[in-house]
Structure 1
């Protein structure tokens, strides 16, 4: 494993590894509890990328593991924190990082559930996974995000004033909260993250967030979406946006799941990239 501790940021030569080195500390494959046999997930090449496994100091006895993808060569880049679903760091999340890296970003996916010691992607039952995820409390996770953005600012390959965050499902709610509590976040894009606990906190938003939701989502009522829209408007958060896709279910971007909606996933991805650029991330 790579311990990224050089004050001015780590370079591949520090670790004597190939830029195509296999990453081994995260699950190889897609989350078993959700993968569809009929799915054809996108696989992004590592050509021209540096792929690293690292540890981010976060004040815990064991530091925060992270999967990192970034453009090869020297130079500084905007950075995006990628927050996983309840299934942890598996091939879908790693590929999201590679997609962003090929667009010129430093992408980092922290393993927020590492304290449990459980291999969530390998579990086949949601009932097994939920209690483990519940152990990752709000303050702990928000603190881990702060540790990641602090670490990013210290790296020689990151533009410290251009840090964004995106997240899916469980990670979508993390995006909304991070935009409220982490001053280093310049913009966030939340994919179908729970809203109910956050509606009353809309006025706390310090960075703009784009929320991407499906009208057919059985877990996030449209009443919650409309309530958040109203709360954002009442709080004067005009830079925040929510887009609802009429034909989309929960998980419509997850190309390894039966809920995948290719057209809406592509539209949401394009909107995400435009939103980041419009708000100074990239």
Structure 2
């Protein structure tokens, strides 16, 4: 399967075109490309993350683990910002869902975090996508070697697209739940998914071809062709990144022209996520 994967996408294949992103996000001109390390990012909560290192091929990357030791595992993939407060919030939330999960965040950016749109764009443009898929596989296998009998993958925006790609390219994945992101055809074809996929999108999402309603419906047709169990949910009145509900996350979304707030949609999405992962990761 991994041999086939090398034919599906090439190194550094973009998840979506930078020009397409900039059509819908504030102008990047005038920003400085300054980065801060994970250690300087705002703390997600009082919950304690265990920082580990995972080796794969000729590289080592940091990962952050929270949750019950022998619980089913879930790899949690970052947005284009990097491993910041919001993705840590999501991992803590996941670890606390019944019946309990062990959440692991791999640091795909190797310690860098974007502080504004231009930096996030710069970091995402520089990501080695093939390497990111290898990071995901190594993370899944780490969880399986450390107490988790079954492991799912979830992600948001960039991480959502990578989550769906993992259903195609990482044979050890047992279930996927992706939020507002679809991989490019060069990265992975969802029609070839091997693991069950649940996907969540906002009706007002304006990332054309990546996470808008048209992309969501196209994904649904691909998943239908795959023959695996799937669900595609579209949330009325919600825009991109609607799951980000921390005060900092809400402020950032409003600054990017996404003023919608719908706590009910967020809770519904988490409920569906919980049911999906419990269904496929329970032993």
TM over 0.5: yes
- Tell whether the 8 Å contact from 1:45 to 1:98 is kept in structure 2 after alignment: no
Q: Distance in 2 between matches of 1:130 and 1:143?
A: 21
Q: Distance in 2 between matches of 1:209 and 1:200?
A: 14
Change (3 A) 1:178 1:281: farther
- Tell whether the 8 Å contact from 2:198 to 2:231 is kept in structure 1 after alignment: yes
Q: Which residue pairs with 1:96 in the alignment? A: 90
Deviation at 1:217? Answer: 0.2
Say yes or no: does 1:212 pair with 2:212. no
TM-score (norm 2): 0.75
Matches within 5 A, 1:150-169: 150-155=141-146, 158-160=147-149, 162-169=150-157
Say yes or no: does 1:277 pair with 2:261. no
Matches within 5 A, 1:1-282: 25-29=38-42, 44-46=45-47, 51-61=49-59, 63-71=60-68, 76-103=70-97, 104-114=100-110, 119-121=112-114, 123-124=115-116, 126-155=117-146, 158-160=147-149, 162-197=150-185, 201-219=189-207, 220-237=211-228, 239-255=229-245, 256-257=249-250, 258=254, 259=258, 260-281=261-282
Determine which structure has the larger helix proportion and give its number.
2
- Tell whether the 8 Å contact from 2:191 to 2:224 is kept in structure 1 after alignment: no
Deviation at 1:113? Answer: 0.8
What is the SS of the residue equivalent to 1:274?
A: helix
Q: Distance in 2 between matches of 1:58 and 1:28?
A: 26
- Tell whether the 8 Å contact from 1:26 to 1:90 is kept in structure 2 after alignment: no
TM-score (norm 1): 0.75
- Aligned residue pair count: 231
What is the SS of the residue equivalent to 1:229?
A: helix
What is the SS of the residue equivalent to 1:242?
A: strand
Q: Distance in 2 between matches of 1:93 and 1:112?
A: 12
Aligned alpha-carbon RMSD (Å): 2.3
Change (3 A) 1:173 1:27: farther
- Tell whether the 8 Å contact from 1:216 to 1:247 is kept in structure 2 after alignment: yes
Q: Distance in 2 between matches of 1:268 and 1:183?
A: 26
Q: Distance in 2 between matches of 1:86 and 1:225?
A: 19
- Tell whether the 8 Å contact from 1:200 to 1:231 is kept in structure 2 after alignment: no
Structure 1 window deviating more from structure 2 (126-135 vs 87-96): it is 126-135
